[in-house]
Amino acid sequence: MNPSSRDTPSWTQVRSYLLEHVPGWSPTQPEEPLTLQLDDDDWLLEVTPDGVLSVQAGYLLEDMQSILSDGTAEDLGSDELAKQAKFYLQQMVSKHRKRLTSEGFTERTEMNDEFVAMMFERPLDFTDLPAITASIQLHRSKFQ
């Protein structure tokens, strides 16, 4: 075992620390990421067991169908729903993109048959738990 792996807290330790020091986490299983709904309801913040901080916005395709059909019987295909979701997400993300990328986040889009999400991710240093807490609080204040 090399010295750096000995000094890095386990996910269990990081998770316990964050649960104690940051209020508002959604209930999860111990091996799952911690998820926090940000004040801007369309945004989530996640800390993953593999050391990634993710700030993301997304749409369930089912919700997009409801938004677009507006009470009509029109049934759009999943490709069209995903395209529309990406359009709406681009507008939502544009006000935060520059700040997030300047803070070292990389942007990616994740899509499947159920949702479309735009994610901004950056690695975390699990050896500095107070810095992680401060970063989470900073992002909470920016998404109001």
Q: 5-58, pLDDT tens digit by residue?
A: 558 899 999 999 999 999 999 999 999 999 999 988 789 999 999 999 999 999
The 3-state secondary structure of the chain, one letter per residue: CCHHHHHCCCHHHHHHHHHHHCCCECCCCCCCCEEEECCCCCEEEEECCCCEEEEEEEEEHHHHHHHHHCCCCCCCCHHHHHHHHHHHHHHHHHHHHHHHHHCCCEEEEEECCCEEEEEEEEECCCCCHHHHHHHHHHHHHHCC
For residues 135 and 112, give the distance between their C-alpha atoms in angstroms, rounded to a whole number. Answer: 29
Residue 109's φ and ψ, nearest 5 degrees, are -110, 135
pLDDT > 90? residue 1: no
Q: Is the dihedral of CA 134, 23, 114, 61 positive or negative?
A: negative
Task: Name the pTM for this structure.
Answer: 0.84
- Fold annotation for 3-142: Yope Regulator; Chain: A, (3.30.1460)
C-alpha angle 28-30-33 in degrees, rounded to nearest 5: 60
Q: Which pLDDT value is given to residue 69?
A: 72
Q: 70-116, pLDDT tens digit by residue?
A: 655 466 777 788 888 888 899 889 989 999 999 999 999 998 888 89
For residues 72 and 90, give the distance between their C-alpha atoms in angstroms, rounded to a whole number. Answer: 25
For residues 42 and 90, give the distance between their C-alpha atoms in angstroms, rounded to a whole number. Answer: 13
